[in-house]
């Protein structure tokens, strides 16, 4: 178990990979149209490019928009000032059966782009499940634009539990005495 702001989260080991059970969404459902329009402007796209949108809030307050393709997601050059305090996730489907199913990008306040975001991918997986579009297993790519090539491994169990996992690279180690 891991204790965090979302509560107690179940963690498991799948071989060399750790995964966590997606916490329940605190907020779901369609975004307000004014939010979708503001997000589209901040992303530098037309409102018509947004094929779907939803809250995917499991704690951080993610707002998610879906574009028509992974290429559209990768081409985004968002305006950080226009995003403001929003936490926006963007997803688009990759073509073909090989490789990741979706490309995901996560934009946090102050123009920060997160290379791999477990909470966002968990929320997207729950949104896909609610739309009956989540396969049993799939991989999402994130961090591509940042040169990080992150891969998030997702699994939907029969009982609806979504497992979110991935490989990690340790870049710093240390000890803190409190």
Instruction: Assign 94 to helix, strand or coil.
Output: coil
Q: What is the pLDDT of residue 83?
A: 94
Contact predicate 141/102, CB 8 Å: yes
Q: Can you give the pLDDT at residue 91?
A: 98
Distances 71 to 74, 150, 167 between C-alpha atoms, Å: 5, 16, 24
7-37 residue pLDDT tens: 788 999 988 889 999 999 999 999 999 999 9
Q: What is the CATH number of the domain that holds 92?
A: 3.10.310.10
Q: What is the model's pLDDT at position 68? A: 97
pTM of the predicted structure, to 2 decimals: 0.92
The span from the CA of 60 to the CA of 91, in Å, is 17
Distance CA 134, CA 126 (A): 8
CA 99 to CA 149: how far, in whole Å?
12
For the chain, how many structural domains are there in total? 1
**Closest C-alpha among 58, 64, 113 to residue 92:** 64
Q: Strand, coil or helix: what is 75?
A: helix
- Residue 26 is classified by DSSP as S
Asked if the structure places residue 18 within a domain, the reply is: no
**C-alpha to C-alpha distances, 88 to 16, 129, 142, nearest whole angstrom:** 30, 19, 14
Is 113 a domain residue?
yes
Q: Could you give the CA distance from residue 43 to residue 4 in angstroms, rounded to a whole number?
A: 30
Neighbours of 14 (CB within 10 A): 11
Which domain covers residue 47, as residue numbers? 24-160
Q: Give a yes or no: residue 32 inside a domain.
A: yes
Residue for token pair 């951080």: 60
Instruction: Write out the chain's pLDDT in tens, 178 residues.
Output: 887 777 788 999 988 889 999 999 999 999 999 999 999 999 999 999 999 999 999 999 999 999 999 999 999 999 999 999 999 999 999 998 789 999 999 999 977 999 999 999 999 999 999 999 989 999 999 999 999 989 999 999 999 999 999 987 777 888 988 8
**Spatial distance between the Cα atoms of 172 and 162, rounded to a whole number of angstroms:** 29
175, part of any domain? no
**What's residue 172's pLDDT?**
85
User: Is 165 a domain residue?
Assistant: no
């Amino acid at each position: 178990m891991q204790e965090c702001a979302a509560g107690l989260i179940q963690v498991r080991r799948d071989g060399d990979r750790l995964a966590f059970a997606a916490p329940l969404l605190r907020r779901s459902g369609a975004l307000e149209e004014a939010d979708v329009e503001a997000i589209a402007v901040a992303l530098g796209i037309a409102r018509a490019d947004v094929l779907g949108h939803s809250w995917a809030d499991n704690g951080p307050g993610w707002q998610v928009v879906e574009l028509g393709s992974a290429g559209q997601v990768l081409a985004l050059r968002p305006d950080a000032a226009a995003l403001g305090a929003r936490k926006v996730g963007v997803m688009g489907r990759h073509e073909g059966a090989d490789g990741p199913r979706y490309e995901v990008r996560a934009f946090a306040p102050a123009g920060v782009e997160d290379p791999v975001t477990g909470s966002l991918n968990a929320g997207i997986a729950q949104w896909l499940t609610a739309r009956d579009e989540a396969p049993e297993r799939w991989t999402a790519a994130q961090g591509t634009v940042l040169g990080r090539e992150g891969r998030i491994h997702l699994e939907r169990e029969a009982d609806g539990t979504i497992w979110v996992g991935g490989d990690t690279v340790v870049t710093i180690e240390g000890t803190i005495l409190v």
